[in-house]
Amino acid sequence: QKEVEQDPGPLSVPEGAIVSLNCTYSNSAFQYFMWYRQYSRKGPELLMYTYSSGNKEDGRFTAQVDKSSKYISLFIRDSQPSDSATYLCAMKRGNTPLVFGKGTRLSVIA
Amino acid sequence: ETGVTQSPTHLIKTRGQQVTLRCSSQSGHNTVSWYQQALGQGPQFIFQYYREEENGRGNFPPRFSGLQFPNYSSELNVNALELDDSALYLCASSLDPGTGGVEQYFGPGTRLTVT
């Protein structure tokens, strides 16, 4: 079992839809939970991160962490064609390196 | 504030050759991590450098080696290239691993093709 599992998609939604992206993980020691956005042929861009459980909101983006279920989510409200990209979840504990999921490819259709 | 830069953008090498990839960290960051991202996969950690010393290594063979310079820029060297080394190589910079190193900022990557 991989430490971090993420459905690779692809996921296709109409403009304006609410998008839900998810990851599960097996290592209960993870403390930090990140979401990165990666456009084609570019490096990943940090969207937001959460420490431990709870929610965090930044504009149209909301990150949720449920440590009891080992499940994290990223919600995108009012999705735009410019949101079309691959979304990577990543996790770490303490000083250890980031462990990434495979990424979910999202297309928002105008 | 200058972001993370990497060079070259693309590279084509032959199996058995050696390659050096370069990374300049974001202003104020003293830690550099290198990742390999195969097509359709998430980035995989290769190693990290903090103040010119290797500070952690992933599951990669010794033919992957690195260096960090006093200005915190870094190099990734790969010897005896194999076809499976074809990937996007990403460098990420961050603050001290022990304090503010949670946020890692990635460069655009170097796409290496081994034929």
Taking only the tens place, the pLDDT of each residue in B15-30 is: 999 999 999 998 888 9
Contact residues for A30 (Cβ-Cβ < 8 A; gap 6+): A91, A92, A93, A99
Q: Which of B104, B112, B113 to mutate to test the interface with A (most CBs of A within 10 A)?
A: B104
Q: Which of B12, B9, B29 is nearest to B86 (CA)?
A: B12
The residue count of chain B comes to: 115
Question: A33 at the B interface (CB within 8 A)?
Answer: no
% pLDDT > 90, chain B: 82
Of B63 and B94, more confident: B63
Please give the structure tokens belonging to residue A36: 């990165």
**Is residue B80 within 8 Å of B16, Cβ to Cβ?**
yes
Task: Kindly report the number of other CB atoms within 10 A of residue B10's CB atom.
Answer: 10
Mean pLDDT of B1-26: 94
Give the pLDDT confidence score for residue B1 in this predicted structure. Answer: 54
